[in-house]
Amino acid sequence: MMLSRVANNIYWAARYIERAENTARLINVNSHLLLDLPRRIRLGWEPIIEILGNDALFYQRHDTADERQVIRFMVSEQANPGSIVNSLRQARENARTIRDIIPREAWEQINQNYLHAREHASSSLGRRKRDDFLRSIILGAQSVTGMLAGTMTHDEGYDFLRMGRNLERADMTTRIVDVRSASLLPEMSEDLSPFENIQWVSVLKSLTAYQMYRREMRIRVRRPDVLRFLLQERRFPRAFYHATCEVENCLQHLPHNEKPLKILTRLQKKVLSAKLEQLQQEELHGFVDVLQLDLARLHNEIRASYF
């Protein structure tokens, strides 16, 4: 069994890389969504800071959630530990301490991702340069993920890396479903109801799920089907249930796994048995809250068992 400090750093490096990619994708999708919606539908930028759980911190420093303030806060603001630049910095710091564990090419890419973000973040807040910058963050994170999958020995270290990445994915999926579905106004007037479809498409795109949803479901985008796909689908990598199966697979390779596996098994049964199509908005919010609490318990048990 590897040292707990090493396992912890691998786990958190993976979480921070995934977090930076997810944040970049959220900002990018929201930018395009707001262009597609009529002005009388006011979603704005506040849902982005709500999804990432940073609304309290944001309003300590800013009065209004306008586009430029939110973009700066989520991309480069030093006071926000979840900003893209800070996430990539934390990923680099964790990876730096385990350079003898991960392939050199992966370390170099992690380092380059941070340096690129730090250099270009402030000049990429405006709409003209933002899209290219965010795309570079996403591709940089995906390059690291691919390098690690293809060149790192699939041993205990890789199991901790996969656990970190997939717990972060599961958490982000629940956050997007919770906040975005709440902003989708179930009682839309008839003349605005066509735009609900656009918003559910944005939910899928926030998780890179739109194309795979259409391929799998072969039907138009509808709330019950989107919820089932994002929470219960077994084969889509960013679906909640798939991410928990990846964590389960990692835990089965590790010693002292009884307690975290017990929490995980209960969580999986809970999500698979849910009748998602029957949940109204408040019920869905409560259900997602339960999933997020269970994810927090699972993280805490993994930390207690291995770190």
Read off the pLDDT of residues 181-240 as tens digits, 9 standing for 90 and up: 876 654 444 444 566 778 889 899 999 999 999 999 888 888 899 999 999 999 999 999
Read off the pLDDT of residues 75-108 as tens digits, 9 standing for 90 and up: 999 999 999 999 999 999 999 999 999 999 999 9
Q: Report d(CA 80, CA 72) in Å as an integer.
A: 10
Single-letter amino acid code for the residue at 185: L
- Whole-prediction pTM value? 0.94
Read off the pLDDT of residues 3-37 as tens digits, 9 standing for 90 and up: 899 999 999 999 999 999 999 999 999 888 888 77
pLDDT at position 189, please? 47
Looking at the structure of the chain, the number of domains it has is: 1
Residue 80, CB half-sphere, CA atoms under 13 Å: how many?
Answer: 29
| Contact status, residue 216 vs residue 204, Cβ threshold 8 Å | no
Q: Which domain holds residue 279?
A: 4-306
| Contact status, residue 295 vs residue 175, Cβ threshold 8 Å | no
- Which of 93, 88, 205, 184 lies closest to 136 in space, CA to CA? 88
**Quick one: tokens of 281?**
């908005």
Q: What percent of the chain has pLDDT over 70?
A: 93
